[in-house]
Chain A
Amino acid sequence: MLERIGQSPPEELTSVRARDAAFPSPFKSVLEYAPPARGTWNIVHTGMLIPQSHQVFICADGCLRGVVLTAAEMGTIDRFSSVSIREDNVLRGDMEELIIDGTADIIGKLPYKPRAVLIYTSCIHHFMACDLPRVYRILRERFPDIEFVECYMNPIMRKSGLTPDQLMRRQLYAPLKPRPIDGRAVNIVGNDLVTDDSSELVRLIKENGFKLREITRLKTYDEYQEMAEAFLNISTFPAARAGGDALSQRLGQKHLYLPFAFDYSEVEDEYTALASVLGCACPDFGPRIAEAEDALQRARAAVGGMSIAIDYTAVSRPVQLAKFLTEHGFAVTDIFLDAVPGEDKPSFDWAREHLPELKFHPTVHPAMRVRPRGGDETFLAIGQKAAYFTGTDRFVNMVEDGGHHGCDGIVKLAELIEDAAKVPKDARSLIQMKGLGCGGGCCG
């Protein structure tokens, strides 16, 4: 039973029409609320993708709490340890020793020997100017057969350069050691979710005889190290792009950024570029586009009179998706995001002109806590936050582009929309699970 306090907030606090929205931040940065949609991955989930690795977090208990329980809920608590920072560590200035001795103590207690140890330092280390190079140098001397990976849980730096999410996706490949380049090997990098085998991306690589490696598909640390052989890295998720650049520069690999696009011409351009680098023919997209159009038509029929709401956690280009669906006859009325992604600027400009009544809503503004959820309007939501805020049980349960790509991805999404329209879901249970697709799952 939902218990509400006070009155509903004025609409201007919780929505702005496209015609009036500012780019890239339609809403002022104020206090933040955290809605209970938890499907996106965090730095623990992502770090666990390195096979045979162990994580050590060094921070205050309040910061440890969320990451410890993330590991527990995903069933990997045996690959997770922690060192608590207490007041006397801050006052004594012995932070370097705390990390070194704590990590050594943990390694000594582990019933197995990890191939890599990911050490996550926190905001405190940054503010204390902790000598991390010294810490890592000593640990590497003491444990020469373990790779130590510099990771960060420093959200206070989220507006100072790369975000913690971007850093994590970059550091995910930091242990890779240079190897001779294999011109027949390709990596997809930086994704939390395995890219669909049916996607044109995977098919183009495999059907032309290239070896494909993706961290989500690997089981051993040795297999992981083989990623250093690839001549080409492909990133598809915006937060992975910087990591793809860094890795490719370090290992002398090529890098292509090919985001999941809701625009057939952009899809074709991406695959033309990829085919050129692979030295193969670009597939004929005519049949795939026809297939996508059929799937969209079926989805459109299933959705009927429902309004469509989209959030930024489901797809990395929510405004482009809104444009695409609108052009296919769907009634997209609401988008939940706190900032418009840079890549969405052209679609945002289009929406201001062609869809001026489209409503943008923040997800973290305090007023969203008491904004009524549900009502007379029937929604189909794409994304967990959109489902939560619209109060609907008809939603596409998807995060981070869902592993989809190309025209095949559009077909998949259309099928998910069709299914969501036909089959209600238990939003309360589903959206509270952390790390959708990580293999764990727990909710209250």
Chain B
Amino acid sequence: MKQTASIISVYTADVSGVASSLFELGGMTVMHDASGCNSTYNTHDEPRWYDHDSLVFISALTEMDAIMGNDEKLISDVTDAALQLRPRFVAIAGTPIPMMTGTDFEAVARRVEKNTGIPCFGLKTNSMHSYLSGASMAFEALAERFCDKKLFREKGSGLVNVLGMTPLDFSVNGSDASIKSWLSGSGFEANSVWAMGGTLDDIIGAGRADVNLVVSYDGLATARYLRETFGTPYVVGVPLGTDFSDALSEELGRASDTGEDSVSYDIRPDGWKPEAVIIGESVYSGSLAAAKWLQDEIAARVICPLETESGLLSPSDAMAMDEEDIVPLLPAGGIIIADPMYKPVCPEDCDFRALPSEAFSGRIYRKEILNFINSEIKI
């Protein structure tokens, strides 16, 4: 039956995606929920929690306030905390019960903003979509609220916005710094990284970038917004492995010249026969498939269990959201590259190669999450 997981994990939800994407920007994120979302997020999804005092809270919704539609308590509590802690912005994100009671997050945000003078936006998350959905909403809201619309694309400048970078896909293994180094070494410069290792001020200045690099699905909506607003072209792909990183930097140069958008990693030859399966987020997994092809001539099929678009997958790839859909796609005797928590449902005779993801297994395999940015793929 779909929707059941007899033994594997679940990807973290949209509300965690919101908090993760905004974590380093000096704002305050409020999860409108009873209890549990915040501790789940900071225990399993947020490797920066212990060492970085980012403001992520829960509203502690009660049965009575939910039934009575008492949004005043939420507005009052968020207002008080914002006035006490003075964040640069406030994001309020929903969970299942506010979805059921129809909480008007935009109205709540307007009231908080009026009370505090601090930019505030509401996000219609409900904990029933993946982190990619939440992070995508949050990045797009940031772009709409904060990017300086008076700026212009500086064509040929080599300035790049990196869109869609959170520890949920990249952990805290130095990948953000490696992307900046790779850009520098390829004749580009990071203008902003959304949102690891950067600041809100970087994001305010995103409009001047020459090209945008989308490194996960949650950066795509923002890339489209920036194209619409500033005319900035985008390239989709993660610089994994050395050969594919070179190819990706060429693609960035091409986008700078032509102004055309592209998905960089669909480079497997026609008629290829899959020898491996990669399970994971579409942009990272597609990039890994390309990198493995260029590095080892291993052709891999991507199985994406998360939100994506058909344009981010090749025709031979597959979307499969549930354990029941995924299992039949796993080849006996073949190579399977996936988070270790998928192993119990893989064929016993497969060549399983671990690719841990914070978004799936949380902190359990954190120390084994490797940084493959512009370096050899050792799986």
Contact = CB atoms under 8 A, between A and B. Distances in A.
A366 B84 contact: yes
B329 interface: no
B57 A33 contact: yes
A174 interface: no
A367 B85 contact: yes
Interface centre among B45, B63, B101 (most CB of A within 10 A): B63
A225 interface: no
B258 interface: no
A66 B99 CA distance: 20
Contacts of A84: 3-5, 10, 128, 322
Contacts of B47: 444
Interface in A152-202: 153-160
Nearest to B42: A34
Interface in A393-444: 428, 432, 434, 442-444
Interface centre among A6, A62, A122, A157 (most CB of B within 10 A): A62
Interface of A: 1-6, 9-10, 13, 29-34, 36, 38, 59-66, 68-69, 72-73, 77-78, 80-87, 90, 98, 101-102, 105-106, 109-110, 122-124, 126-128, 153-160, 364, 366-367, 369-370, 428, 432, 434, 442-444
8 contacts: A10-B84, A31-B57, A34-B42, A38-B39, A65-B45, A69-B9, A72-B341, A77-B344
B15 interface: yes
B35 interface: yes
Task: Give the top 9 A-B pairs by smallest Cβ distance, nearest first.
Answer: A62-B127, A62-B13, A66-B40, A155-B35, A156-B34, A105-B1, A31-B57, A444-B363, A155-B34
Interface string B35-62: 1111110111101011111111111111
Contacts, number: 222
A326 B62 CA distance: 37
A51 B155 CA distance: 66
Contacts of B9: 65, 68-69, 72, 77
A61 B306 CA distance: 12
B86 interface: yes
Contacts of B86: 6
Contact of A81 (B4, B62, B126): B4
B332 interface: no
Interface of B: 1, 3-7, 9-16, 26, 30, 34-40, 42-45, 47, 49-64, 66, 77-78, 80-81, 84-87, 95-97, 99-101, 126-130, 322, 341, 344, 361-364, 366
Contact of A90 (B14, B55, B95, B100): B100
Contacts of B53: 2-5, 369-370
A68 B341 CA distance: 11
A432 B78 contact: no
A62 B94 CA distance: 11
A123 B98 CA distance: 11
Contacts of A62: 12-16, 37, 40, 95-96, 127-128
Contacts of A36: 42-43, 49-50
A101 B49 contact: no
A69 B361 contact: yes
A31 B127 contact: no
Nearest to B101: A127
A366 B85 contact: yes
Contacts of B15: 62
Given A30-B80, A82-B4, A155-B34, A66 B39 contact: yes
A66 B363 CA distance: 11
Contact of B44 (A66, A110, A126): A66
Contact of B363 (A61, A63, A65, A443): A443
B362 A367 contact: no
B136 to A, nearest CB: 16
Contacts of A66: 36, 39-40, 43-44
Contacts of A64: 10
Nearest to A3: B52
B62 to A, nearest CB: 5
Contacts of B130: 61
B3 A86 contact: yes
B6 A109 contact: yes
Contacts of B51: 1-3
B127 A157 contact: no
Contacts of B13: 60-62, 65
Contacts of B84: 9-10, 13, 366-367
Contacts of B59: 31-32
A288 to B, nearest CB: 39
A63 B96 contact: yes
Contact of B54 (A5, A10, A29, A77): A5
B81 A65 contact: no
Contact of A60 (B42, B44, B127, B322): B127
Nearest to B67: A127
Given A69-B44, A80-B7, A90-B100, 13 more contacts: A6-B87, A31-B30, A31-B81, A32-B35, A34-B58, A61-B11, A81-B6, A84-B4, A84-B128, A123-B96, A158-B35, A160-B62, A444-B363
Given A367-B84, A442-B364, A65 B34 contact: no
B38 A34 contact: yes
Nearest to A153: B36
Interface centre among B40, B55, B361 (most CB of A within 10 A): B40
B36 A82 contact: no
Contacts of B58: 31-32, 34
A442 B368 CA distance: 13
A5 B52 CA distance: 8
A5 B341 CA distance: 36
B128 A60 contact: yes
A268 to B, nearest CB: 39
Contacts of B366: 444
Nearest to A103: B4
A158 B34 contact: yes
A32 B39 CA distance: 10
A32 B57 contact: yes
Given A87-B128, A366-B57, A110 B6 contact: yes
Contacts of A367: 84-85
B81 A366 contact: yes
A83 B128 CA distance: 12
A32 B45 CA distance: 18
A443 B47 CA distance: 10
Interface centre among B38, B61, B84 (most CB of A within 10 A): B84
B339 to A, nearest CB: 11
A30 B77 contact: yes
B42 A65 contact: no
B306 to A, nearest CB: 11
Nearest to A66: B40
Contacts of A5: 26, 53-55
